[in-house]
Amino acid sequence: MGFPKDFLWGGATAANQCEGAYSEGGKGLSTADVMTAAAHGVPREITDEVVEGKYYPSHNAVNHYHHFKEDIALFAEMGFKSYRMSIAWSRIFPNGDELAPNEEGLKHYDEVFDTCLQYGIEPVVTLSHFETPLGLLKYGSWENREVIQFFLRYSETVFNRYKGKVKYWLTFNEINVMSTKPWMAAGVHSDDEQVRMTAAYHQFLASAKAVQLAHKIDPENKVGMMYNGHLAYPASSDPDDIQRTNEFMHKMLFYSDVQCRGYYPAYKLKEFEREGIVLPIQDGDLEELKNGKVDFLSFSYYMTHVVGKNSPLVFTGLNGVKTGYTNPHLKMSDWGWAINPSGLRHLLNLLYDRYQIPLMIVENGLGADDKVEEDGSIRDSYRIDYLRDHLQEMKNAIDLDGIPVMGYTMWGPIDIIAASTGEMRKRYGFIYVDVDDQGNGTFKRIKKDSFTWYKNVIATNGEDLN
């Protein structure tokens, strides 16, 4: 029993949160490049363009673009079997709609993948991770069906270019973020549900077509979806609280229903009927969704929610999901996220029972304000405790429940910009990066105590979590 012998241990990043070099190598602007950092209780701001005097954390991030060889060597030292990362779409097609790709961008990722493979690290690559090319906003971004073709041109380009180097792909990162932070998900800045659902429909079609294209280009390709692992408990045994929780979970799970089952569930179609939402369905679309089902389901898991009869079902702004309820049985992280290891086992069971396809945990970690001691060490025992407890629950799901889990890529193995706040001080990594919330520092990489711990976890294939 225990973890499979070919289990994909590793870590995960996103280009806009780690690469920096936002205007180098022919790269165009993305939606992430016009998001400021949160500061003193003020949430992140979206600007129409890069405004002089404002700080945009993606512009420098942790300079992984220039440090990737050093960083991947550190991942290899930990024993990584996989590295989940993203390609910045606007490095390949700077405005999103060009006919020909940017060769300098393609060459950069050739070098990244070659470095991974040199160490025996399997790349797991996300095509679109919260960084739609800003140039596509002139079309209305994902609200416009034409963007599907731009995405497919990009997908075909990278599937062909990296054939034999990459075989694990994810189409859209946390696609259900369309219902919570549509700007991140799709460059859509609207609280209108018709707009959000139109954009989601176009992403579903784009994903389904990309899955089929990937399989055609290389039958070895495996393409997954990526679900933002929202899981909610009812606030009480009040039937109204339970019903509201079901409705909340439907808001989240319908995305994976479409991508894993190949069709819209009846409950969502009824909701559209009640709310007057009309999908822009064209001839052949429903067959595309059916034929483009994903091969596996990947997801992030950080916390659980409590939902009651007063919880909203439409979420606005960039501050995440606020249900109006908290769980008195759980401890909270420094950023107010409920820490619930057993919820990971619960979610693994829920997703496998629902879809019966392999699962992969591609984000799980603890954001904390790490301190460098006088001797230069970073003693992050709290991160070790958090990860140990979650890995134990994953192991329970495999051993006791029979859930087929492909791999686990911790978020993020090196400190990167936090997506929720744009901060650096909300650190996740096994590797500390000397840079502050304003992008100042030496960018020196320093191993934390958790680095050695995770190295041992991988070396023992999860048998020794202590």
Task: Enter the DSSP assignment of 414.
Answer: B
- The Cα 466–Cα 78 span in angstroms is 16
Contact 305, 232 (CB under 8 A): yes
pLDDT given at position 343: 98
CB atoms within 10 A of CB 223: 26
Q: Which H helix or E strand runs over 172?
A: strand 168-172
Asked whether 279 and 198 are in contact (CB, 8 A), the reply is yes
Tell me, yes or no, if 271 is annotated catalytic: no
Task: Write out the E strands in 41-121.
Answer: 82-86
| Contact (CB, 8 A) for 318 and 44 | yes
Distances (CA, A) of 433 to 4, 125, 214: 32, 23, 35
Q: What pLDDT shows up at residue 43?
A: 84
Three-point CA angle 133, 257, 5, nearest 5°: 85
Contact between 377 and 315 under an 8 Å Cβ cutoff? The reply is no
How would you class 311 by CB atoms within 10 Å of its CB: exposed for 0-12, middle for 13-18, buried for 19 or more?
A: buried
Active-site position among 174, 271, 393, 423: 174
Q: Are strands 338-339 and 331-332 parallel, antiparallel or unpaired?
A: antiparallel
For 350-425, strand residue ranges (E) read 359-363, 405-411
Check whether 41 has a pLDDT greater than 90: no
Q: How far is CA 243 from CA 304, 309, 386, in A?
A: 17, 8, 31
**pLDDT score for 40:** 73
CB atoms within 10 A of CB 154: 24
Q: Mean of the per-residue pLDDT values for the chain?
A: 97
The question of whether 174 is a catalytic residue gets the answer yes
Contact between 209 and 152 (Cβ < 8 Å): yes
For 386-429, what is each residue's pLDDT tens digit? 999 999 999 999 999 999 999 999 999 999 999 989 999 999 99
Give tens-digit pLDDT for 213-261.
999 999 999 999 999 999 999 999 999 999 999 999 999 999 999 999 9
Q: Which of 143, 271, 288, 363 is catalytic?
A: 363
Query: In the chain, pLDDT over 90 holds for what percent of residues?
Result: 96
Domains of the chain from N-terminus onward: 8-459 (3.20.20.80)
* Residue 231 to residue 68: CA distance in whole angstroms: 34
| CA-closest candidate to residue 132, choices 63, 191, 86 | 86
List, for residues 98-124, the tens digit of each pLDDT value. 999 999 999 999 999 999 999 999 999
Which pLDDT score, from 0 to 100, does residue 42 have?
81
| CA dist 313 → 83, 246, 247, 250 (Å) | 34, 11, 8, 10
Residue spans of beta strands (DSSP E) within 36-94: 82-86
How many of the other CB atoms lie within 10 Å of CB of 112?
24
Residue 320: pLDDT band with limits 50, 70, 90:
confident
The pLDDT value recorded for residue 39 is 79
- Please, which residues have CB within 8 angstroms of residue 328's CB and are 6 or more apart in sequence? none
User: The pTM is what?
Assistant: 0.97
Q: Could you give the CA distance from residue 140 to residue 151 in angstroms, rounded to a whole number? A: 14
Would you mind telling me the total number of residues written for the chain in this entry? 466
- Rounded distance between C-alpha atoms, residue 203 and residue 254, angstroms: 13
Is 115 within 8 Å of 71 (Cβ atoms)?
A: no
- What CA–CA distance (Å, rounded) separates 373 from 167? 41
Beta-carbon neighbour count of residue 356 at 10 Å?
9
Does residue 256 or residue 39 have the better pLDDT?
A: 256
